[in-house]
Structure 1
Amino acid sequence: MNVGRGSTTFLKVIIFLAGIAVLAFCIWLPVIAVRDAKAHPDTAYFLIPFLVCAYGFCAAFAVSLFQAYKLLTYIEKNKAISELSLKSLTIIKKCAFAVICLLVIGIVSLRVLAAVTVSDDAAGPTSLCLMAILLTSIFAAIVDVLQKPMKNGIHS
């Protein structure tokens, strides 16, 4: 087994484990949401926007993981610079933008919730969402930088 094959296999295992973590989170999420709704019945109506954002985030992240897995498969088959790889990178970038949009919706929901309930302070979760937006933006920029030479290589 050469080094390239071993590193792509390692990355595939990491992607698979991340996919299992996302699946576990999706299964565990309704339990958390119902428990929180019972503990805070005055803000239970924010359960639906929270679940929509959370499941949308998980779906976009899962699609990105699947496309990254496919991209690693293309790399193993020495088809790193191909239309299929370019398509996978495009889908990953679109998923990153979807995650950013869902995080912005989450921030707006948190701020509205903080305005409705006087006792809640949304500064911590808002800052975490902003950090996640920054990281996702960096990731989308890296994918865009990878796409440009690939487009030039394919179309030349």
Structure 2
Amino acid sequence: MKQVSTLFLKIAVILIGIPILAMCIFLVPEIGNIAAELLPKFAYIKYLVFIVFYASAIPFYFALYQAFKLLRYIDKNMAFSQMSVNALKKIKYCAITISSLHVLVLPLFYLFAEIDDAPGVIFIGLVVPFASLVIAVFAAVLQKLLQEAIDIKSENDLTV
């Protein structure tokens, strides 16, 4: 049963990465062009969009790789190991990095909201940083719980 559930999660991790790859290939250049058209005074804005989105894709895929490693540890009955704690720590740092990068782009969403007179655009810009922070907090909580479980386990092993 455990093999089936981890296989399902591994497939889900792979399927999560595919739309982000498609977005990086097709949507990010379009967003950059739209930003350059809407803000002709800031010609460099197109490159800022490219840098932020492509730079945030790197920690995203690294976090997916760490999640895949975590699932492999579960398959090998090594879930309660220091390697799992390290994987969760790296996922946490990746989520914080993604959130920080997307917070840098929030002024761009503000400029778009001013041009279109649509304040809802700012809330759309907050979705990715907020979701990344939720993932970072969740990973931090899991990391702490797992570390405490490992400490209790090693304490019990020394008692016997």
Seq. identity, %: 34
Q: Name the counterpart of 2:96.
A: 97
Gaps of 5+ in 2: 155-160
* SS at 1:17 equivalent: helix
Q: Name the counterpart of 1:76.
A: 75
Q: Name the counterpart of 1:65.
A: 64
For 1:129-148, list aligned pairs within 5 A: 129-148=125-144
- Cα displacement (A) at 1:50: 1.0
Preserved contact between residue 49 and residue 109 of structure 1 (Cα < 8 Å): no
- Cα displacement (A) at 1:146: 0.8
| Whole-Å separation in 1 of the counterparts to 2:10 and 2:101 | 26
- Cα displacement (A) at 1:83: 1.3
Preserved contact between residue 66 and residue 88 of structure 2 (Cα < 8 Å): yes
In the alignment, is residue 24 of structure 1 matched against residue 22 of structure 2? yes
| Whole-Å separation in 1 of the counterparts to 2:74 and 2:115 | 52
Could you tell me the TM-score, scaled by structure 2's length?
0.81
In the alignment, is residue 119 of structure 1 matched against residue 115 of structure 2? yes
Picking from 4, 8, 11, the partner of 1:10 is 8
In the alignment, is residue 51 of structure 1 matched against residue 47 of structure 2? no
Q: After superposition, what is the alpha-carbon deviation per residue over 1:104-135, rounded to whole angstroms, capped at 9, x for unaligned?
A: 10102332x349xx633463332022233332
The higher-RCO structure (CA 8 Å, 6+ apart) is 1
Gaps of 5+ in 1: none
Aligned residues: 151
Preserved contact between residue 36 and residue 45 of structure 2 (Cα < 8 Å): no
What residue identity is the alignment partner of 1:36? I
What residue identity is the alignment partner of 2:137? A
In the alignment, is residue 151 of structure 1 matched against residue 147 of structure 2? yes
| Whole-Å separation in 2 of the counterparts to 1:50 and 1:23 | 16
Preserved contact between residue 110 and residue 122 of structure 1 (Cα < 8 Å): no
What residue identity is the alignment partner of 2:141? V
Preserved contact between residue 12 and residue 72 of structure 1 (Cα < 8 Å): yes
Q: Name the counterpart of 1:85.
A: 84
